[in-house]
Amino acid sequence: MPKFTYPVVFIHNEEGECYNAFLPDLGVFSIGDTMEEAYADAEKLITKYFQIATAEDFDFATPTSLEDITKKWKGYKVSLLTANLPDAK
């Protein structure tokens, strides 16, 4: 089962009272009422992203290290997110 692990940055949107889960290496984000919802939606998002990318043989960015993302996004919560793809048949 192929796995893709990328850093995710959580940004609290004060005006919308929601959370964005931003994957800077891929340029995509998800939104949730809570950080947990944003994370769960981001899991679905990157799984679909990599299903399409691998099926179509698209190039995609190498993940930035957690250390480098944490430095760049100082003051934000940063975590890792993994997409687990089913084996090709």
CATH number at residue 52: 3.30.160.250
Contact between 51 and 85 under an 8 Å Cβ cutoff? The reply is yes
**48, part of any domain:** yes
What 3-state DSSP class applies to 79?
A: strand
- Tell me the average pLDDT across 39-49: 91
Report angle CA 82, 88, 89 to the nearest 5 degrees.
Answer: 150
Q: What is the pTM of this model?
A: 0.84
Greater model confidence, 69 or 47: 69
pLDDT of 35 higher than 80? yes
Q: Is residue 70 predicted with pLDDT exceeding 90? A: yes
| Domains in the chain, number | 1
Q: Residue 58 is part of which domain span?
A: 3-84
Asked if residue 89 is part of any domain, the answer here is no
**Which segment, 32-41, 46-55, 79-88, is predicted with the most confidence on average?**
32-41
Helix (H) or strand (E) run with residue 49 in it: helix 35-55
Q: What is the pLDDT of residue 16?
A: 73
